Structure formats: structure tokens, C-alpha cells
Amino acid sequence: MDLKEFMVQNYYDFHNPSKPLKINKEIFLKRAKYLGPEYILSSEYKGSTQRVIFYHTKCGKEWAPTAEEVMYKHSHCPCTSKFRNPDYGRNRVDKFLESHNCKRISEYKDMKRPIKIFSEKCKHIFLRTPDILLNQQAGAKCPICRKKPARFQISNFMKEEIKWRKSKGFTQKDVGDFIHCCDHLISDFENGHKKPSKKQITEIKSYMDALTIGDDKRDQQKCANYMDC
């Protein structure tokens, strides 16, 4: 390729090499060829700093960049950005939650609308926007568990209750339903934020004993049925 051909292809004035040619519509269209047939120019070219309107057949919307964004930055319609793709955001959020022993239990719409998150560790459900979840250090931490420091030593009874609850596969909400209180209060008992009253200890213990005895009777009945066979 000789110098003249190079300068013509790069839109320089051959008679004044220090000065680029003024970009006209023909040159603009040549530089916009990278967009492909799915973009249709629906406005006039008026200069590199002016906006031009393209109709994007893929998403059915108009896109209005400046001409220089097309010619020099090779821009595309925002719908092609991976960050605008709901599948990209959804997969990113789900992967992040999985790495923190949590899972999403509501529909993902975008980065700004809250989603329901279930913590496998403490069995709590809480709301958080995906952008805060991904970009803040405490994003995946349960707000119910982390908002209060432990003030009391966890009682031996509550330690037994935790072991019993986990062995039976019950959640803190299940125990709360037993004694007619919320799961937040059970979480406070188990994490030392509050002390259960004598009445609450008695109620929890009575349910623990009743369910344990019920399981023992079922086990005995199974053994008896097995021996009869």
C-alpha cells in the first residue's frame, strides 16, 4: 500500500496531510459498517458531535449516540451490554450467594430492585438489592444476626436446644411457632443477644420432650413390627 492509498483509506487530505478530511455522510456510513444490517440509520448525519438515530431491529428500540461515538469508539446499542442482560446479572447474583451459603428465593429483575435471600446458616430470610449484595463487604451477611453483638453467654439449655433443633431438621421459625413468638427472638436466644425467661424455657423444653418421646415411640413401634415379621 502506497502513501496516497493509505491516506485515502484513513480520510486524510492528500494535499494537506496535517489536516484530516471533513467527515461527511459517506465517510460516516463507511465507518458505521461494523454495526451490521441490524442497525438502520433513521436520521441525517449533521456532524461528528451531533447525535444520530439508529433503529435497532434486534430490540425494536431507537438508539441515539453521537456520530463520533460510532466512528471512534465503535459503540453499540445498550441492549447488547452484558450488564443489561438479566441472565448475566441473575447468574452473577446466584453464584455469589451460593459461595456464601445463601440462595435467592424471589425473582431477579435488575440490580436495583430487592430480592429475597435465604441464609442456609441461620435459616433467616432477608431483603437486599443485588448491587449492595455484590459491592458491599457485608452484602451477604444476615442483617438479623449481625446487627447485635452477643451480650450474654449462651445458656447450656439453649446449646442443647440448638443441637436438638438441628438433629430434627427444624428451623428457628419452627421453634418460634411452638412457643408463639417470632424466629428473630429464637435467634436472639441462640446467639446470646437475649436470655429466655423461665416460662419460655419450660415451653421449649416441653415441646422438645414431647417430640422426642413421639419419635422414640415410633422407633419402638417400627422395631416391634420388624420383630413380628
- Residue 218 sits in a domain of what CATH number? 1.10.260.40
Is the same domain home to 100 and 122?
yes
What's this model's pTM, rounded to 2 decimal places? 0.38
Query: Is residue 81 in some structural domain?
Result: no
Domain termination site, one of 53, 76, 99: 76
Q: Does 20 share its domain with 72?
A: yes
Do 72 and 92 lie in a common domain? no
Same structural domain, 20 and 61: yes
pLDDT at site 82: 62
| CA 228 from centre of chain | 55
Regions of the chain short of the pLDDT cut 50: 1, 3-4, 6-9, 11-14, 219-220, 222-224, 226-227, 229
Amino acid identity of residue 169, one-letter, is G
Residue 72 has a pLDDT of: 86
Do 108 and 65 have their domain in common?
no
- Same structural domain, 69 and 94: no
Residues 162 and 217 in one domain: yes
The verdict on 16 and 65 lying in the same domain is: yes
Q: What is the pLDDT of residue 131?
A: 86
Number of domains in the chain: 3
- State which of 146, 165, 180 marks the end of a domain: 146
Report the C-alpha gap between 80 and 218 in whole angstroms: 60
Same domain? 90 vs 28: no
Do 162 and 222 sit in the same domain of this protein? yes
Cα dist from 101 to 51, 69, 147, 181, 222, whole Å:
48, 43, 19, 26, 36
d(C-alpha 47, C-alpha 62), whole Å: 19
- 43 in a structural domain: yes
Domain final position from 146, 170, 191: 146
- Give the cell for residue 147: 446487627
pLDDT, one tens digit per residue, over 5-42 is 544 445 444 455 555 567 788 888 888 999 889 999 99
pLDDT of residue 224: 45
Rounded distance between C-alpha atoms, residue 126 and residue 114, angstroms: 10
Same domain, 66 and 98: no
Tell me how many degrees the CA angle 141-144-149 measures, rounded to the nearest 5.
Answer: 90
Residues 136 and 166 in one domain: no
Domain that holds residue 66: 3-76
Contact call for residues 127 and 102 (beta carbons, < 8 A): no
Domain assignment of residue 151, yes or no = no
pLDDT of residue 42: 92
User: What are 39's strand-pairing partners?
Assistant: 56
